[in-house]
Chains A and B, each alone.
Chain A
Amino acid sequence: MTLTFEDFPPGHFGTFGPRRVTREEILAFAAEFDPQPMHLDEEAAKRTMLKGLSASGWHLCSIMMRMMCDGYIGRTASLGSPGVNEVRWLAPLRPGDDITLDVEVTEARVSRSRPETGIVTFRSVVRNAAGQALCEMISPIIVARRAGVAAE
């Protein structure tokens, strides 16, 4: 059953994970996209503000995207996203962390320009196993409305 706009009323939507993030994947992402010492080099990372090896923030956002895809976007009539309102990187993602994603719908409205679609805005918070929030993301996606409703 494909999820449509009507399946995203404001309120808590779901919790997804846990997913383990390995040292190998942190290093591989950093080597390709964000080769700063704090994401690549254990010893150099200890001397940075983050006090140890941590994943690139872009890696964490990309993992959040994957968790959203596996959790619900993969079975949603999603038409893509216009952007991200805000991302806050709150604490470092460490090798071996098991992360959990909490998703809340903060707003759902029908598109004025394309009334057969709606815009659903999510507030997503990813936490480590200790419950510490690592990243908060406020982001909309465009979702098709259930067939027929636009004609009403």
Chain B
Amino acid sequence: MRFFEDIEIGQRRELGSFTFTADGIKKFAAQFDPQRFHLDEEEGRKSLFGGLAASGWHVGSVCMKLLVADGQRQAQEALARGEKIAIWGPSPGFRELRWIKPVLAGDTISFASEVESKRASEKRPEWGILQARNTGTNQRGELVFSLLATAFVPRRRGNP
């Protein structure tokens, strides 16, 4: 992962893609979001979604999964270059999560993250606060998911 100082507004990273299978959709829904349109194909077809649809929390959790995997790839690359690794802090939350279109069984969603803003933390001088727009796009090029995420990112100063 990168340090606060290395991050520029507008930087975009492609995080990779994920295919939502019917089994995966039902398994997540049975555990966390057991609504009929997330559990059953026929109920999904009769709903506003028009098919077996992934829980929005499943879509958000998969975005997180790909963000973490991308961070781990960046850390490996930094390590290979002999650089120090920045370990990101927790997130205080997010805003503006939009489930724009349903994610249906068989859809492949490509996720990306683009930096929108960054500022120093007033309370924690060794940390900066980053805002990034994370998005998911389906195999037809339609934007299906978007959110404005916030995270604590370590500064080089104070992290020797």
- A38 contacts partner chain B, Cβ-Cβ < 8 Å: yes
Q: Which 9 A-B pairs have the closest CB atoms?
A: A84-B97, A62-B32, A88-B93, A33-B61, A83-B98, A58-B61, A62-B57, A33-B65, A83-B97
- Contact assessment for B35 and A74 in the assembled complex, using a CB-CB cutoff below 8 Å: yes
- Contact assessment for B32 and A50 in the assembled complex, using a CB-CB cutoff below 8 Å: no
How many interface residues does chain B have, given as a range? 35 or more
For B35, B47, B91, the residue with the greatest tally of chain A CB atoms inside 10 Å of its CB is: B35
Interface 0/1 of B78-98, CB less than 8 Å to A: 000000000111111111111
B residues near A80, Cβ cutoff 8 Å: 35, 37, 47-49, 53, 99
Main secondary structure of the interface of B (DSSP, over half): mixed
Interface 0/1 of A85-108, CB less than 8 Å to B: 111110010000000000000000
Which positions 11-61 of chain B face chain A at CB distance < 8 Å?
Answer: 31-35, 37, 47-49, 53, 55-57, 60-61
How many interface residues does chain A have, given as a range? 35 or more
For B53, B57, B60, B68, the residue with the greatest tally of chain A CB atoms inside 10 Å of its CB is: B57
B residues near A32, Cβ cutoff 8 Å: 61, 65
- A56 contacts partner chain B, Cβ-Cβ < 8 Å: yes
In the bound complex, how far is the Cα of B37 from the Cα of A85, in angstroms?
22
What is the distance, in angstroms, from A12's C-beta to the closest C-beta of chain B? Answer: 23
- B9 contacts partner chain A, Cβ-Cβ < 8 Å: no
Interface 0/1 of A23-65, CB less than 8 Å to B: 0000001001111111000000000111000101111011101
